[in-house]
Chains A and B, each alone.
Chain A
Amino acid sequence: MDMQNFKTREKAAMAEPKIIARDVNVYYGQSQALKSIELDIAANEVTALIGPSGCGKSTFLRCINRMNDVIESCRVEGRITLEGIDIYNSGLDPVLLRARVGMVFQKPNPFPKSIYDNIAYGPRLHGIASGKDELEATVESSLRRAGLWEEVKDRLDSPGTGLSGGQQQRLCIARAIAVNPEVILMDEPCSALDPIATAKIEELIDELRENFTIVIVTHSMQQAARVSQKTAFFHLGELVEVGETDKLFTSPEDQRTQGYITGRFG
Chain B
Amino acid sequence: MELNPPLEIDKALLKKRNAAETRFKLYGLAAVLTAVLVLGLLLTSIVSKGYTAFEQTYILLDVRLDQATIDPKGTGRQEDLAAASYRGILRDALKEQFPEAESRNEKRSLYGLVGSAAEYDLRNAVLENPKLVGTTATIAVKASDDVDSYIKGFIPRDVPQSDRKIKDQELGWLDTLEADDRVIKKFNIDFFTHADSREPEEAGILGAVIGSLYTLAITLALCFPIGVLTAIYLEEFAPRNRWTDIIEVNINNLAAVPSIVFGLLGLAIFLNFFGLPRSAPLVGGMVLALMTLPTIIIASRAALKAVPPSIREAALGMGASRMQTVFHHVFPLAMPGILTGTILGMAQALGETAPLLMIGMVAFIADIPGSINDAATVLPVQIFLWADSPERGFVEKTSAAIMVLLAFLVVMNAIAVLLRKRFERRW
Contact of A172 among B314, B319, B333, B425 (CB under 8 A): B314
| Interface residue? A111 (CB, 8 A) | yes
- In the assembled complex, which residues on chain A have CB atoms less than 8 Å from the CB atom of B240? 72
The answer on a CB contact under 8 Å between B319 and A111 is no
CB distance from A178 to the nearest CB of B (A): 9
Contact A98 B319 (CB under 8 A): yes
The B interface, classified by DSSP as helix, strand, loop or mixed, is helix
B167 shortest CB reach to chain A, Å = 74
Given A105-B310, A125-B324, verify A112-B426 contact (CB < 8 Å).
yes
Chain A residues with CB under 8 A of B239: 72
Q: Quick one: given A105-B310, A107-B310, are A159 and B318 in contact (CB under 8 Å)?
A: no
Which residues of B have CB within 8 Å of A70? 312, 316, 322
Chain A residue numbers with a CB within 8 Å of B222 are: none
- A82 near B: Cβ within 8 Å? no
A interface residues with partner B (beta carbon < 8 Å): 65, 67, 70, 72, 95-99, 102-103, 105, 107, 109-112, 121-122, 125-126, 159, 161-162, 172, 175-176, 179
The answer to whether A179 and B318 have CB atoms under 8 Å apart is yes
Q: How far is the CA of A112 from the CA of B312 in the complex (A)?
A: 12
Q: Does B321 contact A (CB under 8 A)?
A: yes
Given A112-B426, A112-B427, A125-B324; A96-B319 close (CB under 8 Å): yes
Do the beta carbons of B318 and A112 come within 8 Å of each other?
no
The distance from the CB of B318 to the nearest CB of chain A, in whole angstroms, is 5
Interface members, chain B 101-119 (any A CB < 8 Å): none
- Of all A-B residue pairs in the complex, the 9 with the closest CB atoms, nearest first, are A99-B319, A109-B310, A103-B317, A98-B319, A112-B427, A109-B314, A112-B425, A122-B318, A95-B321
Smallest CB separation, A85 vs chain B (Å):
16
Among B310, B314, B317, B328, find the residue whose CB has the most chain A CB atoms closer than 10 A.
B317
Interface string of B241-266 (1 = CB under 8 A from A): 00000000000000000000000000
Q: Of B319, B328, B329, which is in contact with the most chain A CB atoms at under 10 Å from its CB?
A: B319
Since A98-B319, A111-B329, A162-B426 are in contact, a sample of 8 more A-B pairs with Cβ atoms closer than 8 Å, ordered by chain A residue number, is: A96-B319, A98-B316, A98-B317, A103-B313, A107-B310, A122-B319, A126-B319, A175-B318
Within 8 A of A (CB), among B279-318: 308, 310-318
Interface residues on B, range: 20 to 34
Say how far A216's CB is from chain B's closest CB, in angstroms. Answer: 15
CB-defined A-B contacts under 8 Å, sample of 22:
A67-B313, A67-B316, A70-B316, A70-B322, A95-B321, A96-B319, A97-B319, A98-B319, A99-B318, A99-B319, A105-B310, A105-B313, A107-B310, A112-B333, A112-B425, A121-B315, A121-B318, A122-B318, A125-B324, A126-B319, A175-B314, A179-B318
- In the complex, the answer to whether A125 meets B316 with C-beta atoms within 8 Å is no
A169 CB to closest chain B CB, in angstroms? 12
The residues of A that contact B329 with a CB separation of less than 8 Å are 111
A74–B77 Cα gap in the complex (Å)?
Answer: 85
On chain B, the residues within 8 Å of A161 by CB distance are 426-427
Residues of A within 8 Å of B425, CB to CB, are 112, 159
A96→B318 CA distance, assembly (Å): 10
Please measure, in the bound complex, the distance between the C-alpha atom of A97 and the C-alpha atom of B320, giving whole angstroms.
11
CA distance A97 to B427 in the complex (A): 27
Which chain B residues lie closer than 8 Å to A102 at the CB level? 317-318
Nearest chain-B residue to A105 (Cβ)?
B313
B binding-site residues for A, Cβ under 8 Å: 239-240, 308, 310-322, 324, 328-329, 333, 425-427
CB pair B320–A95 under 8 Å, yes or no, is: yes
In the bound complex, what is the Cα–Cα distance between A97 and B312 (angstroms)? 17
B27 to chain A, nearest CB (A): 40
Q: Using A107-B310, A159-B426 as known contacts, say yes or no to A67 and B317 having CB atoms under 8 A apart.
A: yes
- Expressed in whole angstroms, the Cα–Cα distance for A67 and B328 within the complex equals 18
Q: For the complex, what is the distance from the CA of A102 to the CA of B317, rounded to whole Å?
A: 6
Complex CA–CA separation, A64 to B252 (angstroms): 39
Report chain A residues within 8 Å CB of B313: 67, 103, 105, 109
Smallest beta-carbon distance A67→chain B, Å: 7
Q: Are A65 and B317 in contact (CB under 8 A)?
A: yes
A179 touches B319 (CB 8 A): yes
- Nearest chain B CB to A52's CB is how many angstroms away? 23
Separation in Å of the B235 CB from the closest CB of chain A? 13
Q: Which residues of A are found within 8 Å of B321, using beta-carbon distances?
A: 95
Closest Cβ of chain B: how far from A217's Cβ, in Å? 14
Smallest distance from the beta carbon of B425 to chain A beta carbons, Å?
5
Q: How far is the CB of A176 from chain B (nearest CB, A)?
A: 8
A122 contacts across to B, CB distance below 8 A: 318-319
State in angstroms the CA–CA spacing of A72 and B237 once bound together: 11
User: Which residues in A have their C-beta under 8 angstroms from that of B311?
Assistant: 109, 111-112
Chain A nearest CB from B242 CB (Å) reads: 14
Contacts of B314 in A (CB 8 A): 105, 109-111, 172, 175
In chain A, what residue has the closest Cβ to B241?
A72
Which residues of chain B are within 8 angstroms of A98 by Cβ–Cβ distance?
Answer: 316-319
A103 contact set on B, CB distance < 8 A: 313, 317
Q: How far is the CA of A161 from the CA of B308 in the complex (A)?
A: 13
Instruction: Determine the residue in chain B with the shortest Cβ distance to A123.
Output: B318
Rounded to whole angstroms, the CA-CA distance of A98 and B324 in the bound complex is 14
Give complex CA distance A184, B263 in Å: 58
CB distance from A80 to the nearest CB of B (A): 17
Residue of A nearest to B321 (CB): A95
- Residues of A within 8 Å of B315, CB to CB, are 111, 121
CB distance from B83 to the nearest CB of A (A): 68
Q: What is the bound-complex CA distance between A235 and B107, given in angstroms? A: 107
How far is B308's CA from A159's CA once the two chains are assembled, in angstroms?
17
Identify the closest chain A residue to B329 (Cβ).
A111
The residues of A that contact B324 with a CB separation of less than 8 Å are 125
Q: Which residues of B contact A125 (CB under 8 A)?
A: 318-320, 324
Closest to A162 in B: B426
Q: How many angstroms from the CA of A168 to the CA of B425 in the assembled complex?
A: 17
> Separation in Å of the A72 CB from the closest CB of chain B?
6
Minimum CB–CB distance from B420 to chain A (whole Å) comes to: 15
CB distance from B215 to the nearest CB of A (A): 37
**Nearest-Cβ distance from residue B367 to partner chain A, whole angstroms:** 50
